């Protein structure tokens, strides 16, 4: 049988943004159970305090730090809290996020800016502060950024969110190259889970509500759709932060329900050539029989719910 490594993060220290509830709390709890000290962050002080208490109440090490991510000052505070409380920083998980869903012609500047500030700039500022500290320590580290299927494929009504998550995937690939010499791995996780956010999707809403009542999710969701609980997604975070994943970097990894998946990077799907270059007319003449013969699909496929 293949050897199963033990995931032990004893002595490591993590910051998890947006971890007062939901997926972020699941990530923070999984890191603490693996032995890491955790700075629990949330914009809501009470939620952060409750989350930290839930971790320490089961023997983990955690402290709460309330801050709205998106500024350099907030990022520096989170890194400083990790160093003050635990002496170092080894893992940064950029999970904090908000939604302001509207179709393009109804989306306001404020809708767009708020989501990009929290998701994209929040990821950038927290990763930058963490990378600076990890490079100073000289012992490597892990940046674990939180993406979304919307950032991989787009999603109706989510211009701001999809753009931010696509940017996070691009930053993952870029930073994995920039930080390789420092021994810092950079990966994005693409979780799919029953949360308050997915509860707003009509097809998933009844199952999210059932899960909240403690009812198990059916196999067609857990396997067919890769849709499960927040805790189902949490295992990926300690793995990516561990020595078992020292050679894993620059990747977008999906997880949800019973499914674990590696997302592909964008690449040319079809290529055609014309001697001397292309004109508008020659592109039009060849499009449907050359590069445009099989168009790429867009959007997140609707769940395939079995008929009753």
pTM value is: 0.94
In DSSP terms, which residues pair with 261 in a beta bridge? 254
Q: For residue 193, which phi and psi values (nearest 5 degrees)?
A: -150, 160
Residue 49, pLDDT score: 98
* Domain definitions of the chain by residue range: 13-193+229-262
- Give the model's pLDDT for residue 192: 92
Residues 6+ apart with CB under 8 A from 98: 114, 115, 118, 119
* Residues marked as catalytic: 148, 161, 165
- Which CATH entry fits the domain spanning 13-193+229-262: 3.40.50.150, 3.40.640.10, 3.40.50.720, 3.30.2320.50? 3.40.50.720
Dump the DSSP string for 104-160: GGG--HHHHHHHIIIIIIHHHHHHHHHHHHHHHHTS-EEEEEE--HHHHH--TTBHH
**What single-letter DSSP state applies at residue 228?**
B
Per-residue pLDDT of the chain (308 residues; tens, 9 = 90+): 567 889 999 999 999 999 999 999 999 999 999 999 999 999 999 999 999 999 999 999 999 999 999 999 999 999 999 999 999 999 999 999 999 999 999 999 999 999 999 999 999 999 999 999 999 999 999 999 999 999 999 999 999 999 999 999 999 999 999 999 999 999 999 999 987 777 777 777 888 888 788 888 888 889 988 989 999 999 999 999 999 999 999 999 999 999 999 999 999 999 999 999 999 999 999 999 999 999 999 998 877 777 66
Distance from C-alpha of 135 to C-alpha of 182, rounded to nearest angstrom: 6
């Amino acid at each position: 049988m293949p050897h199963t490594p033990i995931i032990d993060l004893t002595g490591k220290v993590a910051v998890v943004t947006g971890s007062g509830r939901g997926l972020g709390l699941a990530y923070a709890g999984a890191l603490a159970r693996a032995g890491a000290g955790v700075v629990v962050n949330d914009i809501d002080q009470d939620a952060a305090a409750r989350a930290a208490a839930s971790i320490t109440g089961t023997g983990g090490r955690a402290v709460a730090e309330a801050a709205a991510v998106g500024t350099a000052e907030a990022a520096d505070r989170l890194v400083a809290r990790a160093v003050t409380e635990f002496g170092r920083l080894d893992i940064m998980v950029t999970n904090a996020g908000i939604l302001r869903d509207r179709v393009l012609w109804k989306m306001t500047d404020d809708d767009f800016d708020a989501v990009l500030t929290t998701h994209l700039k929040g990821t950038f500022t927290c990763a930058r502060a963490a990378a600076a500290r990890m490079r100073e320590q000289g012992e490597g580290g892990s940046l674990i950024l939180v993406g979304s299927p919307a950032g991989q494929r787009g999603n109706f009504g989510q211009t701001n969110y999809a753009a931010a998550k696509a940017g996070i995937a691009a930053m993952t690939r870029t930073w994995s190259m920039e930080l390789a010499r420092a021994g810092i791995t950079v990966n994005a996780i693409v979780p799919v889970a029953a949360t308050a956010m997915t509860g707003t999707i009509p097809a998933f809403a009844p199952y999210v509500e059932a899960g909240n009542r403690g009812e198990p999710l059916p196999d067609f969701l857990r396997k067919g759709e890769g849709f499960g609980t927040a805790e189902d997604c949490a295992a990926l975070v300690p793995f990516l932060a561990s020595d078992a994943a020292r050679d894993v970097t620059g990747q977008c990894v999906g997880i949800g329900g019973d499914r674990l998946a590696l997302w592909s990077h964008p690449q040319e799907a079809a290529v055609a050539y014309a001697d001397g270059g292309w004109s508008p007319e020659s592109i039009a003449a060849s499009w449907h029989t050359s590069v445009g013969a099989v168009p790429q699909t867009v959007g997140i496929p609707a769940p395939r719910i079995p008929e009753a």
